[in-house]
Structures are given as C-alpha cells and as structure tokens.
Amino acid sequence: MGQITVETCEIEGLKIITPKVFGDARGYFMETYHYEDYKAAGIPEVFVQDNQSASKRGVLRGLHFQKEFPQDKLVRVIRGEVFDVAVDLREDSKTFGKWYGIVLSEENKKQFFIPKQFAHGYLVLSEYAEFCYKCSDFYHPGDDGGIRYNDPEIGIDWPITEDMELLMVERDINWGGLKEYRENKA
C-alpha cells in the first residue's frame, strides 16, 4: 500500500499519479495500478477495459469523448513521450472549456487520471510511442464525440515544432469546436 503519489491540477478532478519505482542493477519494478491505493487517493473508479496504441512522431489523436457512455480514463506511456491533454466538458464546472496538458513518458512513468465528461487527446513527441489506458466503461461503437484539437476558444498550446508533420485521421480534423459542442448539447 502507499505505492503512489497523487498531485491535483488546477482543474478539479484531474490527477497526476507518480508510482514508486524500485530499481537496482537488474532494472526496475513498479505497481502500475492497485485498486486500494487509488481508492485511498480519491480515485475509486473501477476500470473494465485496458487499451494500448502505438503511434509515430507527429500523430495527434483527439480530442475524444464518449457521449452517452462516458469513461473515466487512467493513461500512461510505456515507450516514448507524448503531450497529453484533457479538456473540461462539465457544463456546471467553473473550468468548463479549460484544458490541462502534461508530458507523459517512459522515463517519468507518470499517469494521468481523466474523469468522465472530459475530452482527451495526445500528441506524440518522440519518434515512436506506446500509450496505455484503462477505462471505467466499455467502448461503445457509434458513441464517439470529439472537439477540434485547435479550437481557438479552448486555445491548447500544443508543442508542435516546425519540423513536425502532423498526422491525424479525417474525423479528428473535422470535429467542431466548443461552440458546436454546446449547440449539440442544447
């Protein structure tokens, strides 16, 4: 027990988790998830699905959310480095439409807890990255929602460099912004 450190962010509900890493000449060991530790740290969600993706540098995925079956997510990077972002979509929140970003990497081993009603996305900064995430609900095809990654109303400061070629799927390029999100909720 007590194998993690949890930091809160300026957006209520988001949490950064740093696991204790035990290293020696052989390498290292760490618990990547222990229900009782997370529950004691204010993350009592039960996760029912694990996902993993691999992407190359410049891949931007998101900003995604599930409409009718929202998911809490616990995300981490096991290889490479990404800039991970969450956008508050809780309409009763004082931080509605605000974003928070963090670098997750195989080196820092940090995890990012993103509650329901947040949009989520990430940009791969390294040549290659493997990204893992736990979800509190199953994926429901057809329930996808999204917000445009470069919506000026949100103003995410993506660390896109001049030599980086952005790689995105068509639907992520064509999502509406926060304005359209509000209109569709009405």
Domain assignment present for 7? no
Displacement of CA 139 from its chain's centroid (Å):
15
Would you say residue 106 lies in a domain? yes
User: Given this model, what pLDDT does residue 3 score?
Assistant: 87
The answer to whether position 158 is within a domain reads: yes
- What is the per-residue pLDDT for 72? 98
Domain of 55 in residue numbering reads as 47-185
155 within some domain: yes
Q: Per the domain annotation, does 42 fall within a domain?
A: no
11 inside domain? no
Report the distance separating Cα 121 and Cα 172, nearest Å.
10
Residue positions annotated with a catalytic role:
64, 133
- pLDDT, residue 186, reads 62
What pLDDT, in 10s, does the model give residues 79-107?
999 999 999 999 999 999 999 999 999 99
Residue 121 belongs to domain with CATH number: 2.60.120.10
List, in sequence order, the alpha helices (H) in the chain.
35-40, 170-174, 178-185
The count of domains in the chain is 1
Q: Domain for residue 67, yes or no?
A: yes
* Strands across the sheet containing 60-66: 99-105, 81-88, 118-124, 60-66, 144-146
pLDDT tens digits, one per residue of 126-151: 999 999 999 999 999 999 999 999 99
pLDDT number for residue 150: 97
Query: What pLDDT digit, counting tens, does each position of 40-91 carry?
Result: 999 999 999 999 999 999 999 999 999 999 999 999 999 999 999 999 999 9
**Residue 172, token pair as written in the block:** 């992520």
Beta-strand relationship, 128-135 and 111-114: unpaired
Q: Does any domain span residue 22?
A: no
Q: What is the largest CA-CA distance in the chain?
A: 58
